[in-house]
Amino acid sequence: MFTLTLTLVQSALYWLDKDANLAMFDEKLAGITTQPNLILLPETFATGFTINLDCAEPENGIVLSWLKTQAHKHNAVVAGSVLVAQGDKKANRFYWVAPNGEVNYYDKRHLFRLGSEGDYVVAGQERKVFEINGFKLLPQVCYDLRFPVFQRNNNDYDVMINIANWPAVRRQIWDTLLMARAMENLCYVVGVNRVGKDGNGVAHNGGTAVYDFKGDALTKAQDDIEQLVTITLKKAPLDEFKAAFPAYLDADSFTLI
């Protein structure tokens, strides 16, 4: 039977201090007691979420090197998003780094208009699906959560992941949309959010959680607490539910341009 053990890292972040953040996550990951297959870090875990300041990494910068080291050390895929230089802008890049050093990535597609994110960040063009332990996973980043068309499950993934810097003021929306995406896509949904105030004074109170394909919460981190959450997902219950309730067969057919 296929299983997938995930460790979700809900953490505060040091503002624009890569060295401090990497040292902190090094210490946090050292505290993992159950061997995971996949370790998930929040959005822009090395810097905090800032788009108009010069903090982007080169294509093969120190943060990617750190991710490779951690993946090898923990014998697990380690994933999180990093601001990566792209010409005169940057990409919000969800890195997926395997223990053997193989790197895949997804660039955040939907940019937060109210924060003028598109003025500084290049929108991703590709929808990606990663595979591990017999599971297919759709990576998403923060604001992507609001756009269900892009996330429509064409029976091509089992788990949706969203890593975020989602503010506390809109926390109810985060909780509701994670649950809704699980139910409408007949999949597990994993959300990893940060806690604490960022350098702009924006508060984050967590909401890191895992929902099953019926929208039931399997585990949740405590609000406003830095915490590691480890959970093992089983593929058989998902497959059995979809076989008994194959709503995806009645979905409208369309193609994104």
Catalytic annotation, residues: 43, 108, 142
Q: Could you tell me if 93 and 81 are in contact, meaning their C-beta atoms sit under 8 angstroms apart?
A: yes
7 burial level (CB within 10 Å; 0-12, 13-18, 19+)? buried
Tokens, residue 128? 């990606």
189/159 Cα distance (integer angstroms): 6
CB atoms closer than 10 angstroms to residue 210: 24
Largest Cα separation within the chain, whole Å, is 51
Q: Is 101 left (phi over 0), alpha (psi -120 to 50) or beta?
A: left
User: Strands, E, within 194-255: which ranges?
Assistant: 195-197, 203-205, 209-211, 217-220, 227-234
Residue among 230, 157, 188 nearest 8 (CA) = 230
